[in-house]
A and B are shown apart, each in its own frame.
Chain A
Amino acid sequence: MTPFDFFILSGLLFAVGLFGVIVRRNVISLFFSLELLLNSANVLLVAFSRLHGNLFGEVFVFFVLAVAAAEAAVGLAIVVALYRYRKSVNTEDFSTLRW
């Protein structure tokens, strides 16, 4: 269990999340991928907090959790409001603002 193993885990989670953000068209699946991206950062923060011997990294994980909860609440409110107008959660139906 070297620090490099945490790099592998974090990199794999980040790659999976980024793949989902690029490929998926469903807004809920996009939110799932965003949560994976946030979690991959958390893994490295925990690993380096352990490695350095102080707990500042774990405090930042705590803050990231709070921000993720706020993001989920606001994002889902926007998705529900959009669903009420368009009866769809596909991003290609929301392209009226695109240039």
Chain B
Amino acid sequence: MREVFFYLFAFLSVVFAVVSVTHRNVIKGGLSLLASFVALGAVYFTAGAEFIGIVQVIVYGGAIVVLYLFTLMTMDLKNFGKEPLRTISLAAGGAISLFLLFSILYAGYRFYGGSIPATVSGAKELALPLFYRFLLPFEVVSVLLLVATVGAVAVGRREE
């Protein structure tokens, strides 16, 4: 049962990712990016990473994509204009991404056997390494979020 849901949601997340990158309309691209992230959260659930799946849906789906969509609301979508498709950038992008895909697959081929153990890591299991071994990086990340918030307000402020 885990396998069926894993393949289903992995397929869905890749399909929605392709739509979000290639669609001309930015709003529809953002919505399909949201769908891709929610499907990826389901993939984490099938792998047993329960807390990460929840956080993926809340942070990526509920915060980051909504932030992008709110920013798009403040802009005039009519003067976004057409994007010219250049053959050279299409060819370069396709070649580089295919090369990277095959090199990732080549590096991962030795992990062909084996299987993911069917344990579940919820909030309780994740709290132990997060608040003991990685306590200092956790605090540094909180400072980073504060700095990013202050910086975003300072940069986005309207000049008087």
Contact = CB atoms under 8 A, between A and B. Distances in A.
B125 to A, nearest CB: 6
Max chain A Cβ within 10 angstroms of own Cβ: one of B97, B115, B121: B97
Contacts of A51: 111, 114, 116-117
Interface residues on B, range: 35 or more
A24 to B, nearest CB: 7
Interface string A39-63: 1001100110111011110110111
Interface residues of A, number: 72
Interface of A: 1-26, 28-29, 31-33, 35-36, 39, 42-43, 46-47, 49-51, 53-56, 58-59, 61-63, 65-74, 76-81, 83-84, 87-90
13 contacts: A7-B107, A15-B101, A18-B100, A28-B68, A29-B29, A32-B30, A35-B60, A55-B126, A55-B128, A56-B134, A62-B52, A77-B153, A80-B71
Interface of B: 2-3, 6-7, 10, 13-14, 17-18, 20-22, 26, 29-30, 33, 36-37, 40, 43-44, 46-49, 51-52, 55-56, 59-60, 63-64, 67-68, 71-72, 74-76, 79-81, 83-85, 89-90, 92-94, 96-98, 100-101, 104-105, 107-109, 111-117, 119, 121, 125-126, 128-130, 133-134, 137-138, 141, 144-145, 147-149, 151-153, 155-156, 158
